[in-house]
Homo-oligomer: A and B are copies of this chain.
Amino acid sequence: MAKVNIGEQAYVLPMATTILGSLLEDRPNFMALGWLTRVNYKPPLLGVAVNQGHASHRAIVETGEFSVNFPTVDMVEVTDYVGLVSGKRVDKSGLFTLFYGELKGAPMITECPLSMECKLVKTVELPTNSFLIGEIIGAYSEERFLTEGVPDIKKINPFMLTMPDNGYWSVGELVGRAWSDGKAMKKRLKGE
């Protein structure tokens, strides 16, 4: 049971796998993105960490807009592909059927069961990456991926990333209920 220090190769386990959309000199561009999180509830803010050398970084800073799209397990190959080639050299705009909400700089992917369009509200510069914080202006899905009006992870069937072993993983089973499964313990400990 001895703890071992595994050093700096430590990552969030696991990470959602998404496709970041932007408009690079009027051409829709896409890259694979695993470093993102919601950061504020109201207004709904979402942050994405992007290397400053990436074409997507320049596009987002220039247009002030971006999209985040959640691919399904069926889209592993194309998702990995958009993470392997740079928009500086390759035109990735024809890989997907696109649609738009309110923001012209946030091309979204029709094939993805869940997409969000975001307006950049803050840029946090870090040593090699920027953390780009956007407000979610709209989120889009289809009725067949929803249960009671909200995204159903088993219908959407997204996949996750692990680093540094570079695995993609599907979602397993429902193992609990948040803000609920701890209630019995709360009652129990209060009685002590």
Contact = CB atoms under 8 A, between A and B. Distances in A.
A1 B11 CA distance: 36
Contact of A142 (B1, B151, B167): B1
A42 B127 CA distance: 8
* Number of copies of chain A assembled together: 2
B173 A169 contact: yes
A114 interface: yes
A136 B140 CA distance: 35
A185 B161 CA distance: 19
A136 B77 contact: no
Nearest to A51: B41
A170 B81 CA distance: 27
A130 to B, nearest CB: 9
A13 B129 contact: no
Nearest to A146: B6
Contact of A110 (B3, B84, B164): B3
A133 B131 CA distance: 10
A9 B168 contact: no
Interface in A162-186: 162-186
Nearest to A115: B3
Contacts of A165: 147-148, 150-152
Given A8-B136, A77-B185, A172-B170, A14 B177 contact: no
A89 to B, nearest CB: 10
B2 A142 contact: yes
Interface of A: 1-16, 18, 32, 35-47, 49, 51, 70, 73, 76-85, 90, 99, 101, 110, 114-116, 122, 124, 126-129, 131, 133, 136, 138-143, 146-153, 156, 158-186, 189
